[in-house]
Chain A
Amino acid sequence: MSTATNPPDGAAIFRLEGVITPRTSMHAAASLAMGAALLRERVTRLSSLALAGPLSLLHATRGGGKARQWAWTGVKGMSTNRVTFLAEEYWDSEIRPSIRPQAVELIERARLQGKRLVLVSDNVGLIVDHVAAALSIEHVVCNRLVFSDCRATGELQSPIVGGERSGQWARQFAHEHHIDLGRSVAYGAQASDALLLSAIGSPCAVGPDLALRRMAVDHDWPVVEV
C-alpha cells in the first residue's frame, strides 16, 4: 500500500537546545575549539569564536546563519579524528549529564502516542547524533561540519539549520516525510523557536526564555517549567 493513501503521521519535534539540555551550540563550538592540540591554537580559535557573539546579534534578523558559521571556524584545520573525539567527549561530559528528565518524559509520552520523533538542533551532527541515539529518536535535523582531506574546513553544510529558519525546514520536512504538521507537536525553548512553534498544530514552550514566554501567553501555548 502506498503511503499516499495513508493519512499523514503526526510528529513530535524536540528542540535540543533549551528543551532537552540547557547547553547551547555556541557552548559546544567553544568547547571543541578549546580542544585544539596547542595552547596558542586554543587562544586564537577562541578569539575568533568571540566574534560570533556580536555577529549573532548583528545577523539576528537574517537567520543567524553567519554567526553559526563563524562559531564553527574554531575547529578549522582540526583532524576528523580530533573533532569526532571531542564531539563524543562533549556529548559524554556536557550533554548527557544535563539531559532534563522532563524532556525524556515528553519524548516517551510522544513515542507511546505513536508520533514520529524528530530532534532539531543548530548544533553539529557529530554531537546531535549521540543524543538521538541515546534517546532513540529516529529523525535528526541539524548542521553538519564539512571535512576535506581528513580536516575540518570550519564550514557548515548548507542550508544552515538555525532557530529562525525552523518554520521553513519544518514544512519541507513534513512534506518529505509525509507528516501532518496540524497533528504534530513541537517543543521549543527560545524566541528563535517561535516560527517552528507557529507552524505546528500543538506547540509547547519548555522552560522558555522571556520572549517566548510572552509569546506563549499571547498565543495560549502550554508552558512546561523545567
Chain B
Amino acid sequence: MLSVSDAPVSVLDTFAGRHLIVTGFTGFLGKVWVGMLLDRMPEVDLRLTLLIRSQPGKGAASGRSALDRFIEIVETSPAFRPIRERHGDDLARFLDARIDVLDGDVGKPMCGLAEATVKRLAETADAVINVAGLTDFDPDPIASLQSNVFGADNAADLAAQLEQPRLVHVSTCFVAGAKGGRVPERFEPGKTPKGVPYDLDGEIAAIRSLPTGHRKKLQKIRVEAVRGRATALGWPNIYTYSKALAEALVARRDDIQLSISRPAIIECALHYPFPGWTEGMNTAAPLAWLNGHWWREMPAVAANHFDIIPVDLVASGMVHVVAAALRNQHVEVTQQGCSDINPFFIENAIELTGLWSRKRFRNSKRISRRVMRLMDPVAVSPSNPGLFRVKNLRKVIGGAKSLVDRVKADALLPPSLASKVGAGLDAYAYVASNMLGDTDRQLSLVEKLFDVFKPFVGDTDWIFQTSNMRTLVNQASAEDRALFPYEPESIDWMDYWVNVEVPGLERWSWPILRGDRPALDPKFDVPLKFTNRLAADGGDGPTPKKTEAPERRADGTTGGN
C-alpha cells in the first residue's frame, strides 16, 4: 500500500508543459477524460496527441478521417459541452494549441504510426495513455484480441520509444474473474483467478489459431470457444479474459514504466460533463431498463456488491494516476470503485430502480404505467428464480402461439358461419400470432441479458480494494482535489441512482435498446476550423485542410463515432 507524502503535490504543475499520447479518445471514458483535462485546466500548457482510427468507407458511403471523427465529437458530443460553452468562438484556437490528431490504430504495430512519426513523437511525448478497448462482454475474440490484448502491447511498444517510457493502461477491476472476495490492487502474474498457472503465449496462440472469416457461423464458433476457455480459467466472459491477458502482456515487459488503472463498472456521470450523461450501453442500462419497465423479478444475489462508479470519478482518478506516473512515482495497480468504502449492493440497485419508477410515472396518464409503478421489482435467487422465470414464460407464450397458429376458421366453424366471420377470425389469429411471436423474441432477449449479466449480479461477490487510489488522491493539494474530485465515499446512492443514474440511462441508453439513437448536441453553424498542427507538419493524419461537415440528417443529428 502507498503512503501519503508530507507535502501535497500539484497536479496542475505536474501536467504543465507535458505532452501525452492518448488512445481510445472516441470511447466513453476517453472522451470524458480528455474533455475533463481540457475543461479543468484551460490555462495549463498541456499537449495531447490523440490517436484516432480513420474509418474506411463502405459501399457508397464515404469514409471518415481521424480528423473528421475528432471534429464531430468536439462539435456534437455532450462530453465536450462544457468546453464548447466555456470557449465559444475561441474553441478552435484553444484546441489548436492543445490537440493534435493522428490517424492511429492500437490494433496495429506501433499503433499504425509511421517510423518518422514515432520518432518525432518520442522526442517530446511524456507518456502513452491507453484508454482504447472493446468493452462488449462477448465480442468476436479476434477483434477482442486485436483491440484489447495486442492494443495494449502496441501501446506499450510506442511508450517504450519515449525517453521516459511511461504507459498508463486502463484495464478493469473484473480481471479478478471468478475469485471474488477482497480483490487487492495487485497484479498476480501468470495465474488465473482460480490460482492455476497458465501460459500467456499459449492462450494468445490458441485464440489466433481459431478459424478466421466474417461468416456469422464462424464468429459464433469463435465466441463460444473463447467464452468456454475464459470460463474454464475463471473469467466470466471474453472481455475480462482479454483484459487480463493484456495486463499480463504489458506487465511482463521491462522496457516501460507501467501504471494499470482498473475501474469497476463505469456508469453515468455524477458531475462532468453534466449529471447523468452516459454513452452507449453500459452495464446497468439493460438491467435497469428491465426493472424500470415490466420485468419485476431479477435473478440476482441481493446481498452481492454492485460496484459501480460514475465515469467522471474514474476520469478524475485517472488524472491522479497519470500525474503520479509523470512524477515518476507511478503505482503499478490502482482500482477505482466503491465496494470497499461506500458499498452499493444489488438489492439497492433493484429497489432504487423500483423507486425511480414510482417517481417517474407518478403523474403518468397511462393506467399501465400507474399500475407498474406500484409493483416493485425484487431480486430472486438465480438458482431458483420462481414461477415467472423467463423459460416458463417462453413456454407459455410458445404454447399459446402454436395454439393460435392452429386456428383456422374453416376447420373450426360450420361453413355458413365461416363464410361470414371466418376472414375476421383468421385476421385476429394472425395478429395474435405476431404479437406472441414478438413477445417471445423480447423474452429471448431478456433471457440473453440475464445470461450475459449473470456473472456480475449472481455468481461472484467482489470487494475491490482502492487504498492505492485514495492515497494517490490524498497526495494532491486541496485545490487539485477540488478540480479533479475522486470521492466515491461521498456518493449518496439513493440520490445518485434515482435522480442521476436511471434518468441518465433513460435519456442516453434506453433509446438504443429500442433501436433509436439518443440525440447529439446540434452542430455548429460554421464548421470548426481546427488545423491540426501535427498533421500539417507531415504526420500520419489526414491533410490539414478544413474538413467538410458530415451530411446533416433531417432530425439535425449526424453520424456517430
B418 CB-CB contact with A under 8 Å: no
Mark out the residues of chain B between 484 and 499 whose CB falls within 8 Å of any chain A CB in the assembled complex: 493-494, 498
B119-127, B303-311, B346-354, B385-393: which lies at the interface: B346-354
Contact B359 A37 (CB under 8 A): no
A55-63, A76-84, A190-198, A214-222: which lies at the interface: A76-84
Which B residue's beta carbon lies closest to that of A88? B359
- Which residues of chain B have C-beta atoms less than 8 A from A39's C-beta? 375
Contact B376 A81 (CB under 8 A): no
Mark out the residues of chain B between 320 and 352 whose CB falls within 8 Å of any chain A CB in the assembled complex: 347-348, 351-352
B175 CB-CB contact with A under 8 Å: no
- Which residues of chain B have C-beta atoms less than 8 A from A81's C-beta? 348, 351-352, 355, 493-494
Mark out the residues of chain A between 36 and 76 whose CB falls within 8 Å of any chain B CB in the assembled complex: 37-39
- Which residues of chain A have C-beta atoms less than 8 A from B378's C-beta? 37-38
Which B residue's beta carbon lies closest to that of A93? B362
Contact B362 A82 (CB under 8 A): no
The distance from the CB of A214 to the nearest CB of chain B, in whole angstroms, is 41
Q: Which residue among A37, A39, A79 has the maximum number of chain B CB atoms within 10 Å of its CB?
A: A37
Contact A37 B376 (CB under 8 A): yes
What is the interface of chain B mostly: helix, strand, loop, or mixed? helix
Contact B362 A37 (CB under 8 A): no
The distance from the CB of A143 to the nearest CB of chain B, in whole angstroms, is 22
- Which residues of chain B have C-beta atoms less than 8 A from A84's C-beta? 494
B31 CB-CB contact with A under 8 Å: no
Bound state CA distance, A85 and B502, in angstroms? 15
A89 CB-CB contact with B under 8 Å: yes
Bound state CA distance, A2 and B359, in angstroms? 48
Given A81-B494, A84-B494, does the pair A37, B358 have CB atoms closer than 8 Å? no
Could you mark each residue 85-100 of chain A with 1 if its beta carbon is under 8 Å from any beta carbon of chain B, else 0? 1000100010000000
Q: Which residue among B348, B352, B359, B376 has the maximum number of chain A CB atoms within 10 Å of its CB?
A: B376
Instruction: State which of A38, A79, A89 has its C-beta within 8 Å of the C-beta of B358.
Output: A89
The distance from the CB of A111 to the nearest CB of chain B, in whole angstroms, is 30
- Which residues of chain B have C-beta atoms less than 8 A from A79's C-beta? 347-348, 351
Interface residues on B, range: 10 to 19
Bound state CA distance, A93 and B361, in angstroms? 13
Which A residue's beta carbon lies closest to that of B494? A81
Bound state CA distance, A155 and B100, in angstroms? 63
The distance from the CB of A132 to the nearest CB of chain B, in whole angstroms, is 20
Bound state CA distance, A89 and B348, in angstroms? 18
Contact B354 A37 (CB under 8 A): yes
Contact A89 B351 (CB under 8 A): no
Q: Which residue among B355, B358, B375 has the maximum number of chain A CB atoms within 10 Å of its CB?
A: B355
- Which residues of chain A have C-beta atoms less than 8 A from B354's C-beta? 37
Could you mark each residue 366-384 of chain B with 1 if its beta carbon is under 8 Å from any beta carbon of chain A, else 0? 0000000001101000000
Bound state CA distance, A81 and B351, in angstroms? 9
Bound state CA distance, A74 and B235, in angstroms? 44
What is the interface of chain A mostly: helix, strand, loop, or mixed? helix
Contact B493 A38 (CB under 8 A): no
Bound state CA distance, A81 and B494, in angstroms? 6
The distance from the CB of A130 to the nearest CB of chain B, in whole angstroms, is 15
Which B residue's beta carbon lies closest to that of A35? B358
The distance from the CB of A77 to the nearest CB of chain B, in whole angstroms, is 13
Which A residue's beta carbon lies closest to that of B363? A93
- Which residues of chain A have C-beta atoms less than 8 A from B376's C-beta? 37-38
- Which residues of chain A have C-beta atoms less than 8 A from B493's C-beta? 81
Q: How many residues of A contact B (CB 8 A)?
A: 11
Bound state CA distance, A154 and B351, in angstroms? 19
The distance from the CB of B167 to the nearest CB of chain A, in whole angstroms, is 41
Bound state CA distance, A93 and B363, in angstroms? 10
- Which residues of chain A have C-beta atoms less than 8 A from B358's C-beta? 35, 85, 89
- Which residues of chain A have C-beta atoms less than 8 A from B362's C-beta? 89, 93
- Which residues of chain A have C-beta atoms less than 8 A from B347's C-beta? 79
Bound state CA distance, A79 and B493, in angstroms? 13
- Which residues of chain B have C-beta atoms less than 8 A from A93's C-beta? 362
- Which residues of chain A have C-beta atoms less than 8 A from B375's C-beta? 39
Bound state CA distance, A24 and B352, in angstroms? 27
Which B residue's beta carbon lies closest to that of A85? B355
Bound state CA distance, A122 and B439, in angstroms? 50
- Which residues of chain A have C-beta atoms less than 8 A from B352's C-beta? 81
- Which residues of chain A have C-beta atoms less than 8 A from B355's C-beta? 81-82, 85
Bound state CA distance, A37 and B373, in angstroms? 11
Bound state CA distance, A12 and B161, in angstroms? 76
The distance from the CB of B326 to the nearest CB of chain A, in whole angstroms, is 41
Q: Which residue among B362, B378, B494 has the maximum number of chain A CB atoms within 10 Å of its CB?
A: B494
Which A residue's beta carbon lies closest to that of B354? A37
Bound state CA distance, A39 and B362, in angstroms? 18
- Which residues of chain B have C-beta atoms less than 8 A from A38's C-beta? 376, 378
Which B residue's beta carbon lies closest to that of A150? B348
Contact B351 A37 (CB under 8 A): yes
The distance from the CB of A80 to the nearest CB of chain B, in whole angstroms, is 8
The distance from the CB of A38 to the nearest CB of chain B, in whole angstroms, is 7
Bound state CA distance, A62 and B348, in angstroms? 40
Bound state CA distance, A23 and B347, in angstroms? 32
Which B residue's beta carbon lies closest to that of A81? B494
Bound state CA distance, A84 and B359, in angstroms? 13
Which B residue's beta carbon lies closest to that of A79? B351
The distance from the CB of A43 to the nearest CB of chain B, in whole angstroms, is 13
Q: Which residue among A79, A81, A82, A84 has the maximum number of chain B CB atoms within 10 Å of its CB?
A: A81
The distance from the CB of B358 to the nearest CB of chain A, in whole angstroms, is 7
- Which residues of chain B have C-beta atoms less than 8 A from A35's C-beta? 358
Given A37-B354, A38-B378, does the pair A89, B494 have CB atoms closer than 8 Å? no
Bound state CA distance, A57 and B358, in angstroms? 34
Which A residue's beta carbon lies closest to that of B352? A81
Bound state CA distance, A37 and B354, in angstroms? 8
Bound state CA distance, A37 and B494, in angstroms? 16
- Which residues of chain A have C-beta atoms less than 8 A from B351's C-beta? 37, 79, 81-82
Bound state CA distance, A89 and B351, in angstroms? 15
Bound state CA distance, A38 and B376, in angstroms? 7
Bound state CA distance, A85 and B494, in angstroms? 8
Bound state CA distance, A39 and B296, in angstroms? 12
The distance from the CB of B330 to the nearest CB of chain A, in whole angstroms, is 38
Closest 3 CB pairs of A and B: A37-B376, A81-B494, A85-B355
18 pairs, CB–CB < 8 Å, chain A vs chain B: A37-B351, A37-B354, A37-B376, A38-B376, A38-B378, A39-B375, A79-B347, A79-B348, A79-B351, A81-B351, A81-B352, A81-B355, A85-B355, A85-B358, A85-B359, A85-B494, A89-B359, A93-B362
**Given contact pairs A37-B351, A82-B351, A85-B359, a sample of 18 additional A-B residue pairs in the complex whose CB atoms are under 8 Å apart:** A35-B358, A37-B354, A37-B376, A37-B378, A38-B378, A39-B375, A79-B348, A79-B351, A81-B348, A81-B351, A81-B352, A81-B493, A84-B494, A85-B358, A85-B494, A85-B498, A89-B358, A93-B362
